[in-house]
Chains A and B, each alone.
Chain A
Amino acid sequence: MKTKSLLRSAIVVLASAFVATGCIDENYDLSNVDTTAELQVKDLVLPLDIDEIAMKEFISIEDTGHIQVINGEYVLIDSGTYTTDDIIVPAINIPAPSVAPIITTIKLLGNGNTPSSTKALPTLPTFPLVFDIGRQVSEFEYKASNISDYIVDIDLIGANFDITIDLVAEGLEKNIKSWTLEDFTMRLPKGLTGETNIGIYDPETGIVEIGGLVVEGTKATFKMSITEVDVKKAGVVFDYDTHSISFKDEIGIHTGHVVVGMSDIKTLEGLPSTADLKILFSMGNINVEMFGGTIQYNLEGIEIADIPITGIPTILSQEETNIVLVNPQVYVCFSNPLGTNYGLHAQTGLTLTAKRPGQPDQKYSLDNPYFELACNGCQGCQFCLSPVDPGQGNYWGKFVNAQHIPFSSFANILSGKGLPRSIGISLDNPCIPKQKIAHFPIGTNLGKMSGCYTIFAPLQLKEGSQIVYSSTEKGWWNEDMDKFSIKSLQIEALVTNDLPVDVEITGYPIDRDGNQIEDVVIEGFHLETGVEDSPLHIKMAGKIEHLDGVVFVAKAKATGQTLRPDEHIILKNLKVKVSGSYLTEF
């Protein structure tokens, strides 16, 4: 009994002693552990052995792109041709007018009755019979409208048409076999050029001097085949406003006597005391084939495809890129058949249109509304349209003999919010301006005007040119990135820059909503041109959380040289130093 009691006591003592050796600490509950973990990064330098970075590695030259390396320089270049529609000035067709005939009575000595008996003796005429015709004229008027706009004024009409005047002594066919017109002149419009079948036409007076004309039978015919009409002399009236033409005058017999001699008589039997002398007119249609005067002509049908802006260096093709080019050039060649054959020069304006999706088009036109495509009759005349004349010997390619045309605004063609998606080229009002022409065929296809163009824009950023480059690198955010909290990010390197630009680099971080993360300081870096192994240091400091990306803003100031593939920004010993932490649960 005593032993059992002892054992019982011992067990209690031992159990109590065991329990007493430990005590529960309520602060440690391993069934509910907060596993939040912060992994820190302290000024950790990430060594990146990056090869030399050359400019050509930023500019990807595509075979079909519009950036090419020419003579070691990056050049935005595009070429093409253009042509007009066929040049035709519509013909003028003036229908023949109707001219009223004239009938005059000739008094003969006979009573005019047909001798029916011998008892009634006729009164014998006194030969020769002379009858003064007097001035017998009739009016005519040619009229036409819908004359082409291209015809501004008319001095000369070239057309083939006839004027015919017949004199017919009616009712004397059986009594006379001939008669004579003496002192005979015709009245025609002035200013005609042509040939008459009889007489001599004086274009100054419009009088045809015929003199004496023996007429066999009873009909005499005058005909003039006309080739040209001197509009002023002839009194042709052209109204440009109404695009109409009117040719109004009179024709007929100016002077003349009818003389019938005894020898002209077949028989006196039935000789009437009077006879009708009819004057009949016939004027042909005037189909104008040529004119002289003033012409203008709109050259139509020129379509030049837009130049897509592709192959542009990434650094230049961002939305916020804003570039001013100093002396880009557009070369134009031109072939003008009207100049060659007729001495007519053409003129045109030119507009380049920068086209950006979702933005209004930006138009850039020549300093002057137009420039003359005057080539002195040569084929393939050449022009250089640029802000500044590159100077003889500096014109691009085949355009060695180009004439310079000022185009100041061209420098701004790439300026704006981002580079244009394409550049449109349009010739503004290409035309043959009003010019005097001596002889110009109308109603005839005179061929086409044609030409070529080349945009030649070296990526030459002269002093004062500026690239405002903004690149948004985003899309970094994800659940892991959200756990990062960056305190500072430093980029250090040795940089050599033989690019012709100074670059000022700044930037700021953005969160997943695209908003700038506040209270973060970016220490920008000024990279001068021509430096060699110069320390580069960019630092971003602050509390950067929920990072989704970085907006970099680089402002580059050109120093007046052209970008070349063999120019480099060389980064050596590039080191990225980062401090921050990664907060997660495991």
Chain B
Amino acid sequence: MNKYIKTAILSATAVLSFGAVAQNTNSAYFIEGYTHRHELNPAFGNEKNYISIPAVGNINAAMRGTIGLENIFYNVDGQTTTFLNPAVDASFLNDINDLSRLGGDMNFSLMSAGFKAFNGYNTVSINVKGNINSLIPKTLFSFMKEGLENKTYDISNFDIHTDVYGEIALGHSHQLGDKWRIGGAVKFILGGANVDARFNKAQLTLGEDAWSAVTNAEIQASVKGLNYETEINEATNHEYVSGMEADESGLNGFGMAVDLGAEFKPNKYWSISVALLDLGYIKWNNNMVASTGGDKSFTTDAYSFSVDADAPNFIGDELEKMVDDLSAIYELEDKGDMGPRTTTLAATLNIGAEFALPVYDKLKFGLLNSTRFQGDYTWTEFRLGANINPVKPLSLGANVAVGTYGWGFGWMANVNVTGFNLFLGMDRTLGKLTKEGLPLSSNGSVNLGVNIPF
């Protein structure tokens, strides 16, 4: 039990520490001279050609969630402790959503280049992207903190999803007339790994007359060389999944995607833009499935106890049988490789509006709505910011955001002169950090890159 709790806490901490959700930094959407702006809307083009410094041209790492370390850890009498400490009041549960989100994204540009040609601006990028998302039901925390009582605990929808893939993107933006600019990108997706773990049902009903539990869980994993480790449950004589291992590595799927974008400038002060990113799929080569095989249920109704030591249902024997049977409901069966499967990419829709202050057109205000479409992990945000471009090589921006992950403050600074481009920004400032530098909220991001404009 201790081992499991500890593992859960450490895993949560690891997820919180990983990083983030936006694969791109939305704070840069309206920043003039931001070299990788075309990744936010393929209709955007740069004034200069550029080539990125390999591996450091554009690094995005972000974490975002509705639950953070501050919901897990507390300080009691000068000592850091967890919410399970008896000195921590259960009122902390008021700050936890019914279904908490926790996730992270990373976008790591191996190489990127942009150049003017074909009556437009063209880009070539090779990126590695990854994301991990999880949903954590509040009942898990209330179950652990408030304790056991006679009610139903529904820990369903405790899901974890992760993708890792590479992409080769070829983009082109093109000016149409004096008001429209459109763009698009074709992406070739190289699948790395995909894991979906879902607790479709995890319900524990502690009734006064009977206790029952229903579980329904499934893991779909597409990782090259992945196999599930199994053991025999001595209580049930069932073979169950006890772990997983990958005995080789490499690409494990292929897919394609497109980015589409458009920008409309009705006059010199206004600009309206829209972009649909990562509209595509990955076909994975395998699908290793571990599953409960549908609903597995357990109820104490099925057991009766006798105090007669000679009876077949003598209380000691029956309790042992009950515990054995209970262990069966969390057994996952190795279903093997179910063959190739196709998953869609998490598409992002950006809609932006920008207004330049007429009296000082170097100061602009922008409003961006960004929505990530990813099933249960779908999120959206509105970001309102001000950007200033006092001199040509320098752009600064600050913004506030509100959305699925709450309020946040972002900023971006970009230096762009011929031969050198450096940008640094955050969609979510870190706020308070642990001594180890981890944000107490689960929200934080950083975007850093060095490129060579020419």
B11 within 8 A of A: no
Residue of A nearest to B150 (CB): A45
A262 within 8 A of B: no
Query: Among the listed A18, A25, A58, which residue makes an inter-chain contact with B424, where contact means beta carbons less than 8 Å apart?
Result: A18
B394 within 8 A of A: yes
- Name, among B76, B301, B415, B431, the residue most crowded by chain A CB atoms within 10 Å (CB to CB): B415
Query: Among the listed B85, B304, B413, B433, which residue makes an inter-chain contact with A49, where contact means beta carbons less than 8 Å apart?
Result: B304
B13 within 8 A of A: yes
The answer to whether B210 touches A47 (Cβ under 8 A) is yes
The answer to whether B147 touches A584 (Cβ under 8 A) is no
On whether A35 and B435 interact (CB within 8 A), knowing A28-B440, A43-B150, A57-B307, the answer reads: no
A70 within 8 A of B: no
Q: DSSP class of A's interface residues: helix, strand, loop or mixed?
A: mixed
The total of interchain contacts (Cβ-Cβ below 8 angstroms) comes to: 179
A494 within 8 A of B: no
Q: Mark A297-329 against chain B: 1 for CB-CB distance below 8 A, else 0.
A: 000000000000000000000000000000000
The answer to whether B146 touches A40 (Cβ under 8 A) is yes
Segment at the A interface, from B195-203, B308-316, B379-387 = B308-316
A39 within 8 A of B: yes
The answer to whether A47 touches B211 (Cβ under 8 A) is yes
The answer to whether B86 touches A36 (Cβ under 8 A) is yes
Segment at the B interface, from A7-15, A406-414, A448-456 = A7-15
A275 within 8 A of B: no
Q: Mark B1-31 against chain A: 1 for CB-CB distance below 8 A, else 0.
A: 1110110010001000000000000000000
The answer to whether B73 touches A44 (Cβ under 8 A) is no
**A33 — which chain B residues lie within 8 A by C-beta?**
73, 80-82
The answer to whether A10 touches B433 (Cβ under 8 A) is no
B106 within 8 A of A: no
Q: How far is the CA of A350 from the CA of B437 in the complex (A)?
A: 91
Residue of B nearest to A584 (CB): B2
Q: Mark A28-46 against chain B: 1 for CB-CB distance below 8 A, else 0.
A: 1111111111111111110
**B13 — which chain A residues lie within 8 A by C-beta?**
30
- Name, among B82, B208, B432, the residue most crowded by chain A CB atoms within 10 Å (CB to CB): B208
Q: How far is the CA of A426 from the CA of B103 in the complex (A)?
A: 88
A374 within 8 A of B: no
Q: How far is the CA of A38 from the CA of B84 in the complex (A)?
A: 6
Q: Mark B408-449 against chain A: 1 for CB-CB distance below 8 A, else 0.
A: 000101010100101010100111111111111000101000
Q: How far is the CA of A14 from the CA of B416 in the complex (A)?
A: 13
**A17 — which chain B residues lie within 8 A by C-beta?**
411, 413, 424
**B80 — which chain A residues lie within 8 A by C-beta?**
27-30, 32-34
The answer to whether A51 touches B84 (Cβ under 8 A) is no
B242 within 8 A of A: no
B206 within 8 A of A: yes
The answer to whether B394 touches A39 (Cβ under 8 A) is no
Q: DSSP class of B's interface residues: helix, strand, loop or mixed?
A: mixed
Residue of B nearest to A57 (CB): B308
Q: How far is the CA of A27 from the CA of B147 in the complex (A)?
A: 27
On whether A47 and B208 interact (CB within 8 A), knowing A3-B417, A28-B435, A42-B146, the answer reads: yes
Query: Among the listed A43, A50, A584, A586, which residue makes an inter-chain contact with B149, where contact means beta carbons less than 8 Å apart?
Result: A43
Q: Mark B85-125 against chain A: 1 for CB-CB distance below 8 A, else 0.
A: 11000000000000000000000000000000000000000
Query: Among the listed A28, A31, A36, which residue makes an inter-chain contact with B84, where contact means beta carbons less than 8 Å apart?
Result: A36
A26 within 8 A of B: yes
Residues of B in contact, count (CB < 8 Å): 69
**A583 — which chain B residues lie within 8 A by C-beta?**
86
Residue of A nearest to B209 (CB): A47
- Contact-residue bracket for chain A: 35 or more
The answer to whether B435 touches A38 (Cβ under 8 A) is no
**B431 — which chain A residues lie within 8 A by C-beta?**
21-23
**B338 — which chain A residues lie within 8 A by C-beta?**
none
B300 within 8 A of A: yes
**A121 — which chain B residues lie within 8 A by C-beta?**
none
B148 within 8 A of A: yes
The answer to whether A7 touches B147 (Cβ under 8 A) is no
A427 within 8 A of B: no
B225 within 8 A of A: no
B75 within 8 A of A: yes
Q: How far is the CA of A38 from the CA of B300 in the complex (A)?
A: 26
Residue of B nearest to A42 (CB): B149
Q: How far is the CA of A550 from the CA of B14 in the complex (A)?
A: 45
**How far, in Å, is B397 (CB) from chain A's closest CB?**
11
Query: Among the listed A7, A14, A575, which residue makes an inter-chain contact with B208, where contact means beta carbons less than 8 Å apart?
Result: A575
A53 within 8 A of B: yes
A6 within 8 A of B: yes
The answer to whether A6 touches B393 (Cβ under 8 A) is yes
**How far, in Å, is B306 (CB) from chain A's closest CB?**
4
The answer to whether B144 touches A26 (Cβ under 8 A) is no
B303 within 8 A of A: yes
A138 within 8 A of B: no
Residue of A nearest to B446 (CB): A18
Q: Can you sample 15 A-B contacts with CB below 8 Å? A: A6-B393, A10-B413, A10-B422, A11-B415, A15-B424, A21-B431, A25-B434, A28-B70, A28-B432, A30-B435, A33-B80, A34-B80, A50-B306, A50-B307, A581-B147
Inter-chain pairs besides A6-B393, A28-B433, A37-B84, 5 sampled, C-beta below 8 Å: A14-B413, A18-B426, A29-B80, A40-B147, A47-B211
Which 10 pairs from chain A and chain B are nearest by CB? A40-B147, A22-B430, A37-B84, A27-B75, A21-B429, A38-B86, A34-B81, A28-B434, A586-B2, A42-B149
